[in-house]
A and B are shown apart, each in its own frame.
Chain A
Amino acid sequence: MSYYLVQSLNALSFSVLLLLTGLGLALVLNLMNFINLAHGSFFLLGGYVAIQWLASGAPWWLAFPAAFLLTAVIGLVLDRLAFARFYARPHLMQVLLTYGLSVVFADLMRWGFSADTLSPALPAILRGGVWIAGLPFPSYRLFLIGIGLLLALTLWYALDKTLWGAALRACVIDRDIVETLGLNARKIFSAGMALAAGLAGLGGALGAGMLSAYPGLDEEVLILALLVVVTGGLDNFKGTVACAVLLGFVTTFSRVWWPEFANFITLAIMAGVLVAYPDGLVTRGGRKA
């Protein structure tokens, strides 16, 4: 019994990790209808920033806000320099732009942070473990589960329930009407992009404790994030959360029982979900963006 309890906690922590990879992408793709293939780069950069911060000896808990802020600033700069001109363009153009940027970022990061695998020097408080029903469980994963759920709740509330979230969604659906109402759509998009980049960086900072950071992680994360966000349903945030949980449990328990087929089983189930629900796991119904 306790074995399955701990395996379920494992699944939950992996779900949160998947959610963290998908947070920023969910925002740009779901709400801003912008395909950002440089999302993985923000994630990896956030991881590197946190690792450098933790190695520097500064207060450890500031590593996460630092990663958020730095990637958010880069997101803002990119928005001003390039993205702003592409929000209204076809998806294919956005893919070209952001994929190109991701290749540039990958090279820059390899140059700046070396090609080695780096792991964060976590503080003692997060490094230990606790015993749950006689089985060990790492404290860091409990921390991750807590933070992840908090982030998901905050985002869901901010995006689905507040006027700011509504304004952001409205900008995508009908920019002209939003501007007629006296809102500056340009600034709302910039803020959205900065927030998305920051969230990706924060995800990377938190995820580095489980994944480490190395060249190539950006691509791996991008694929996971696309899987979570697209299968979850492209017009709301709840779907992303639901899909992260489903994917986390499916992957974990396929690793428990048939580790060699873990990838196959996971992808087959995700493909099945898409066939059964082509609009995603959770849809708003009625409204089409």
Chain B
Amino acid sequence: MLAGGAASLALGMPMPARARDTPIKIALITSLSGPFASLGESMRAGLSLYMEEIGHQMGGRPVKLLVEDDQGKPDEAVRKVRKLLSQDKADVLCGVISAAAALAIRDIVADAQALTFISNASANALAREAASPYIFRPTKTSWMLGHTSALWAYEHLAKQGGMTLASDYAAGREYIGDFKTTYTERGGQLDRQVWTPLGTSDFAPIIMNIAAANPAFVYAFLPGSDAVRFLQQMRDYQLHGKVRIMGPGALLDQEDVLPAAGDAGLGGLNTFHQSPDAPSSAAFAQAYKKSRNRLPGEASTSGYATGQVIKAGLDAVNGDVSRKADIKTRLLDGAVETAFGPMQFDPRNNQAVLDIYVNEVRANDDGVPLNTVIHTYKGIRDPGPSA
């Protein structure tokens, strides 16, 4: 305590000595039940792992992690955020898996000017009309993945004769829409676009139509168990390896989809800001494998990288969370090294500018399907408010 007081005197900080010992409260809003439970648990595991690695210290102060379950529901997320702000007096908010939940809490955290880090939700709007001065997005937008997929598909797969297949909800519409825009702008021509309800249990009828159409590739977005079923049923109908599958990374997520899909995922392509194979992710992937005996996917890496970003911000102000403007300056001024890769924030909308990897699922030395980086699109930046 004496040492802490001396340090704050020496640095001329306004913070009283006692405050340096009270923990900074970081609240993680994630889904521990409901449709995103598996992603939510991975996110918590990623952030907890980071907290352990740094000894629960940021900016020289102890950090306390509060975890709340939003059940994947917007109204529940709103309730939990209100509680965290008014009752628990959380200093920093982070997490949120679902885009609907992220959009629902946007006004509350924006009005409260709470320092918020949206770790996973990809809705484009949060980098555009719904951006806010103290909401940071240490993750991708749908556009960053749809756009880069289109670049790759146009250059390396085919200039025409591809089709799309996606779950018919907001995220699916965004990914496919952004893919189509970039792909057709370059001069590509897409054939059929197929939408299927979220939670489709049997893809066989659609797969037969894919077989009949024999497309040059299928650009697909299906989350979680839908992706597992689609990939396995493609294999059951002998189309695996015959029709090229590409998608945003969630289609072939290393943690959420590939362990269950198994060999059916091999050969799939995706564009993603995450790959356990990327050099920036190597140390984290190893530590994560040690703690949970599995390779990290997007959600766990999001949790970890969010921790890295928050620490960079808090270190710059020596743990004085009231200096929000200085934290923001730090994050806008230079890139933070994260498990996703170098992360630079865009001053227009606090959206991360990220390297996007093109991953191909290949069997690694142990025969495990692994998202292997085959190309990197450097510094992809969402069009932001101008879009």
Q: Which residues of A contact B (CB under 8 A)?
A: 3, 6-7, 10-11, 13-14, 17, 107, 110, 114-119, 129, 135-138, 140-141, 210-212, 214-217, 220, 251-253, 255-256, 259-260, 262-263
Please give, as numbers and ranges, the residues of chain A lying within 8 Å of B40 by CB-CB distance.
115
Q: Is the CB of A117 within 8 A of B212?
A: no
The complex places the Cα of A135 from the Cα of B214 at a distance, in Å, of: 13
A136 near B237: Cβ-Cβ < 8 Å: yes
Cβ of B257 < 8 Å from any Cβ of A? yes
Please name the residue on chain A nearest to B227 by beta carbon: A117
User: Is the beta-carbon distance between B229 and A116 smaller than 8 angstroms?
Assistant: no
| A-B contacts, 7 listed (Cβ < 8 Å) | A7-B205, A129-B238, A220-B201, A255-B206, A256-B206, A260-B195, A262-B200
Are the CB atoms of A13 and B204 closer together than 8 Å? Answer: yes
Q: Are A10 and B38 closer than 8 Å at their CB atoms?
A: no
- Cα–Cα, bound, A251→B206 (Å): 12
Please state if A216 and B229 are interface contacts (CB–CB under 8 Å).
no
A14 to B196, CA, bound (A): 16
Given A129-B238, A214-B224, A260-B168 in contact, is the A252-B205 Cβ separation under 8 Å?
yes
Residue positions of B touching A, CB distance < 8 A:
33-35, 37-38, 40-41, 168, 194-197, 199-202, 204-206, 208-209, 211-212, 224-225, 228-229, 232-233, 236-239, 256-257, 259-262
Are B35 and A216 in touch, CB under 8 angstroms? yes
Chain A minimum-CB-distance residue to B224: A117
Separation of A278 and B231 alpha carbons in the complex (Å):
40
| Bound CA span A17–B229, Å | 14
Shortest CB distance B98–A (Å): 14
- Residues of A contacting B224 in the complex (Cβ-Cβ under 8 angstroms): 117, 214
Contact in complex: B211, A135 (CB < 8 Å) = yes
Checking A6, A10, A119, A215 against B37 with a beta-carbon cut-off of 8 angstroms, the contacting residue is A215
Residues of A within 8 A of B195 (CB): 259-260
Residues of B within 8 A of A118 (CB): 260
**CA separation between A135 and B239, bound complex, in Å?**
11
> Would A255 and B199 count as touching, CB distance under 8 A?
no
Q: Is B212 touching A259 in the complex (CB atoms < 8 A)?
A: no
Closest CB in chain A relative to B207 CB, distance in Å: 9
Q: Known interface pairs A110-B33, A212-B225, A220-B199. Does A116 touch B38 (Cβ–Cβ under 8 Å)?
A: yes
Q: Within the complex, what minimum Cβ distance (angstroms) separates B228 from chain A?
A: 5
Q: 14 additional contacts, CB 8 Å, given A117-B224, A136-B239, A212-B225?
A: A10-B202, A10-B205, A10-B208, A17-B201, A115-B38, A117-B225, A117-B260, A129-B236, A141-B204, A141-B236, A216-B37, A220-B199, A256-B206, A259-B195
Q: Which residue of B lies closest to A110 (CB)?
A: B37
**Is there an interface contact between A14 and B202, defined as CB atoms closer than 8 Å?**
yes
Do residues B225 and A138 form an inter-chain contact, with CB atoms below 8 A? Answer: no
For the complex, give the distance between the alpha carbons of A255 and B204 in Å.
Answer: 9
Contact B205 A256 (CB under 8 A): yes
A206 to B374, CA, bound (A): 39
Nearest A residue to B195, CB-CB: A260
CB-based contact B196/A138 at 8 Å: no
Closest B residue to A137 using CB positions: B237
Q: Is the CB of A116 within 8 A of B260?
A: yes
Contact between chains at B202 and A210 (CB < 8 Å) = yes
A117 adjacent to B209 (CB under 8 Å)? no
Known contacts A3-B212, A116-B38: does B202 contact A17 (CB below 8 Å)? yes
- Contacting pair B225 A140 (CB below 8 A): no
State in angstroms the CA–CA spacing of A6 and B236 once bound together: 13
A262 close to B209 (CB less than 8 A): no
Of the candidates A110, A118, A259, the one having the most CB atoms from chain B within 10 angstroms of its own CB is A259
| Cβ–Cβ contact A252 & B236, under 8 A | no
Query: Beyond A13-B204, A212-B228, A214-B225, is A119–B262 a contact (Cβ under 8 Å)?
Result: yes
